[in-house]
A and B are shown apart, each in its own frame.
Chain A
């Protein structure tokens, strides 16, 4: 099929399956669909859009067909994204499985593991969470202490993870555990998949400054995990962990990109108004908005460019640190401006009129963008060392 025919097919498909309500900004928690064993759909429109996308494997457009992915070429996937963006379609499925675990399984998983886990990610049947950070191991992730002691064909896992996003809602966790205490810290880490229903796993939600609590402390108390759940080799988990992080970082920057479909100036015009020549009435804020919008567009083009420059299948590596750094700082700048744009209305915390203080809470949430997935400072360290080659 030619790309032009493909584009036509995509447009027809979207028109047929993506209802108008699925083309509105996601405001409430239930507007997003995360899948999983206990998931329910908000309404029929959401179910129809998700089901149609999942049937084609378009929840993961470029993943191989053999696991149920879309099997699209890069050019086709770009068309799909363009047409979805143009119509402001909501993503049919949000998923740590798609953004993080899947790419790691494709790279390091055994054939059996791929067959076991990938289809359920694509079909939204399993919801995953990430067990990396610990109270004593944040930026210094390799210092993690959660231990996994060998016991026949199982490990016994003990320890604590923290900041586990959606730990209380997830079915499975991909966790980093220490399997060797005696070697250099990076060398004794194993990448392990654990079912959250296993006895001894418990979670405790933590409230964020946004007033919401999507993240948790996660405790492991003598949890028995089959050794078959190791991805890659025992004690070789650091390589998998780092590879996964590069995908997490590009996913964070793409999410920022997706959130920019409505320009800041649109909100500003609505709340501040324009003079008789069509110029925004607040000239000082206007120049900040202009600067931001130029940066946002240039950033979007840069994501496209990096995507194009990468040969198919090539790892993105340290470039993902640049994308994550810039994207998350850009998003923070956006919400600083958004607050100023909205004025008093942007400060409301509760009530239906403001969708439960959507802007104020989102503003608070963006502060985490430059912390989650590795802080901005850590990304700058990586750029300095691995892209610029500066000495340590």
Chain B
């Protein structure tokens, strides 16, 4: 696998960039200011569905485009640049799991997901620390009963389906369920202006066909979900920090103090140059993680956690430096740099925090 994009991936990247141009950061602000309950633009979501983005990780046989993780990464990177929110991350990844492991019945759902725009949210272990699952599944005749809670489930207020993990006899299993009235959804707006929910299940009845994949496949599903979601979030963070950095450098070339451009101050130059260097590293590790997933290389597990830990850290640095170098105006709600900071913090916590992933990498390296 190469670091440089193929022609096909480059075209995908270009059309994604065009698409998200219509959804600038101003749109995030608008949705927030309207107290929009959905938290993302449904028009944009429609266009994303039309582009087939929900099927990027699905085989052609099942109606997808099979662009692979690297291709999906290109989309998330563009989302990161404009802070564009949508259910595409979780829907596309869940569709991939269905494509790889799902039953025939579940695969039959792929059409309405890819072309019909039905969305899926994903609820992994309970918190961003990824501690043991608090959801439990027990057998009840020809049904299962699901009880427990989940936190920070993105877009669960609008999702049609939920892909979730739960413990069955102490073993982590994955279920695809409808987001029905039986599920209690308490939704809050987070710092990044997006909607996240706490889900509670009180003996919710699941049919046996809700289980995704055979018993043997559960570990592989868990690994793919944790690795894949985090590699893609890292790609989003890469886009986010690149945009924040470019804006900051732009400001250094524009703002004057003491009769000169502030970009001529060496104290700021060196910090900008250091940040540039760090972002170069993030770019490489993100590509490496996505490529390893595409290659089915077992090292992907380590690379994805490395990518998430590093991308989270540098996104933090880039957005902090951004706010500082903008000065007072960086602290205002009018200036967009703050939106980047807020999204960076939330993305860093989703599906495993920075320290969870640093620890995961160390354990995988046997220390």
Q: Do A and B come from one complex?
A: yes
**Looking across the interface, which residue of chain B has its beta carbon closest to that of A322?**
B277
* Contact B276 A302, beta carbon cutoff 8 Å: no
Q: Report how far A383 CA is from B275 CA in the complex, Å.
A: 11
Known: A274-B367, A287-B358. Contact between A298 and B281, CB under 8 A? Answer: yes
Q: Does A389 contact B (CB under 8 A)?
A: yes
Contacts of A353 in B (CB 8 A): none
Task: Specify which of B2, B281, B283, B355 is in contact with A326 (CB 8 Å cutoff).
Answer: B281
Task: Specify which of B2, B272, B288, B309 is in contact with A384 (CB 8 Å cutoff).
Answer: B272
Provide the B356-367 mask, 1 if CB < 8 A to any CB of A, else 0: 001101110111
Q: Report how far A268 CA is from B358 CA in the complex, Å.
A: 17
Contacts of B358 in A (CB 8 A): 287, 290-291, 294
Task: Specify which of B252, B253, B269, B285 is in contact with A297 (CB 8 Å cutoff).
Answer: B285
**Looking across the interface, which residue of chain A has its beta carbon closest to that of B291?**
A301
Q: Does B14 contact A (CB under 8 A)?
A: no
Q: Report how far A298 CA is from B263 CA in the complex, Å.
A: 28
**Looking across the interface, which residue of chain B has its beta carbon closest to that of A265?**
B367
* Contact B266 A387, beta carbon cutoff 8 Å: no
* Contact A309 B306, beta carbon cutoff 8 Å: no
Q: Report how far A379 CA is from B276 CA in the complex, Å.
A: 12
Q: Report how far A218 CA is from B273 CA in the complex, Å.
A: 34
Q: Does A184 contact B (CB under 8 A)?
A: no
* Contact B277 A278, beta carbon cutoff 8 Å: no
**Looking across the interface, which residue of chain A has its beta carbon closest to that of B3?**
A305
Residues 239-264 of B at the A interface (beta carbon under 8 Å): 249, 252-253, 260-261, 263-264
Q: Does A3 contact B (CB under 8 A)?
A: no
Q: Does B335 contact A (CB under 8 A)?
A: no
Q: Does B96 contact A (CB under 8 A)?
A: no
Q: Report how far A308 CA is from B365 CA in the complex, Å.
A: 27
Q: Report how far A278 CA is from B363 CA in the complex, Å.
A: 8
How near does chain B come to A387, taking the closest CB pair, in angstroms?
6
How near does chain A come to B332, taking the closest CB pair, in angstroms?
24
Q: Does B270 contact A (CB under 8 A)?
A: yes
Contacts of B272 in A (CB 8 A): 384, 388, 390
Contacts of A326 in B (CB 8 A): 277, 280-281
Q: Does A263 contact B (CB under 8 A)?
A: yes
Task: Specify which of A298, A322, A384 is in contact with B306 (CB 8 Å cutoff).
Answer: A298
* Contact A294 B309, beta carbon cutoff 8 Å: yes
Known: A308-B4, A322-B277, A380-B273. Contact between A298 and B282, CB under 8 A? Answer: yes
Q: Does B284 contact A (CB under 8 A)?
A: yes
* Contact B367 A269, beta carbon cutoff 8 Å: yes
Q: Does A377 contact B (CB under 8 A)?
A: yes
Q: Report how far A287 CA is from B313 CA in the complex, Å.
A: 13
* Contact A298 B310, beta carbon cutoff 8 Å: yes
Q: Among A279, A377, A388, find the residue whose CB has the most chain B CB atoms closer than 10 A.
A: A388
* Contact A308 B282, beta carbon cutoff 8 Å: no
**Looking across the interface, which residue of chain A has its beta carbon closest to that of B266?**
A381
Residues 317-360 of A at the B interface (beta carbon under 8 Å): 322, 325-326
Q: Does B152 contact A (CB under 8 A)?
A: no
Q: Report how far A245 CA is from B296 CA in the complex, Å.
A: 40
* Contact B274 A380, beta carbon cutoff 8 Å: yes
Q: Does A295 contact B (CB under 8 A)?
A: yes
**Looking across the interface, which residue of chain B has its beta carbon closest to that of A304?**
B3
* Contact A286 B362, beta carbon cutoff 8 Å: yes
How near does chain B come to A157, taking the closest CB pair, in angstroms?
35
Contacts of A294 in B (CB 8 A): 285, 306, 309-310, 358, 361
How near does chain B come to A3, taking the closest CB pair, in angstroms?
14
Task: Specify which of A279, A289, A295, A380 is in contact with B363 (CB 8 Å cutoff).
Answer: A279
Contacts of A388 in B (CB 8 A): 249, 269, 272-273, 276
| A-binding residues in B (CB < 8 A) | 2-4, 249, 252-253, 260-261, 263-264, 266, 269-270, 272-274, 276-277, 280-285, 287-288, 306, 309-310, 355, 358-359, 361-363, 365-367
User: A388-B272, A389-B249 given. 6 additional CB < 8 A pairs?
Assistant: A278-B367, A289-B367, A301-B3, A302-B283, A391-B253, A391-B260
| B-binding residues in A (CB < 8 A) | 263, 265, 268-269, 274, 278-280, 286-287, 289-291, 293-295, 297-299, 301-302, 304-305, 308-309, 322, 325-326, 377, 379-381, 383-384, 387-392
A-B contact pairs, 19 of them (CB 8 A): A265-B362, A279-B367, A286-B367, A287-B355, A290-B361, A294-B285, A301-B287, A302-B283, A304-B3, A322-B273, A325-B273, A326-B280, A380-B270, A381-B273, A384-B266, A384-B273, A390-B252, A391-B260, A391-B263
**Which 9 pairs from chain A and chain B are nearest by CB?**
A383-B273, A384-B269, A301-B284, A298-B281, A298-B285, A305-B3, A302-B284, A380-B273, A390-B263
